[in-house]
Amino acid sequence: MKLIFATHNAHKVAELNQLLPKSIKLLSLNDIGCHEEIEETGKSLEENSKIKADFIRNKYGLDCFADDSGLEVELLDGAPGVYSARYAGPNKDMEANIQKVWSELDGETNPKAWFRTVFYVYFSGKEYELAGRVEGTIIFEKRGTGGFGYDPIFVPKGYQKTFAELGEDVKNKIGHRAIATQSLLKIVKQNC
Ligand code: ITT
């Protein structure tokens, strides 16, 4: 079965491919030849995931889903949140984004944060909104080389290492997208 994941982010596709059974062939936007940047004009992860899924649904009429994810820091009232990719400016510079989180936190002790993801899904004639969240703290140095985005500065609750140090096995168990993917799997199984 083919399912389109409305993303250009190869890291996300690789992550999801490890979580879904082999019977599901996950296709990214690049795989279906869609090279347009879908404008994320929403004010929340919920709005943006629906905007991305609607774009593909309307253009191709195929079963698909989109996620919008972000890092939410408690002391920053949930920022960078929906603006995680462009927190420090329009060119999606992760180094600058991390520097900005650090400077806004100004050395606070163990600031609480969480990654949150929202999936908007069109599957078998129905639509669904699914969510996943993982809690942790921000550290003030970058540690580890795995993952992407804010992973080198995020230590999930119950661990001493960052997501970038822990690697894909742990992220695939407790990560925000892994949790939402479990719900996606239930829907796929119910409808097959
Ligand atoms: P698409 O919109 O094409 O899916 P994107 O990279 O812009 O790709 P999002 O809008 O969902 O992805 O995510 C916004 C940013 O949030 C992303 O660029 C990362 O900086 C951060 N982020 C999301 N998930 C993350 C994760 O699992 N680990 C670390 N950072 C993450």
Give the total number of structural domains in the chain.
1
CA of 69 to the centre of ligand 1 (A): 5
3 state SS of 114: strand
Range of the domain at 179: 2-190
**Nearest ligand 1 atom to alpha carbon 70:** 16
pLDDT at position 11 is 85
pLDDT along the chain (192 residues), means of 10: 90 86 90 92 97 95 94 98 96 97 93 98 95 98 96 98 95 94 91 74
pLDDT at position 25 is 87
Q: What CATH number is associated with residue 125? A: 3.90.950.10
Nearest-CA neighbor of 30 among 54, 5, 2, 3? 5
**Nearest ligand 1 atom to alpha carbon 8:** 3
Residues with CB under 6 A from ligand 1: 7-9, 12, 67-71, 84-85, 94, 115, 147-151
CA of 110 to the centre of ligand 1 (A): 23
Give the predicted TM-score (pTM) of the model: 0.92
pLDDT at position 73 is 98
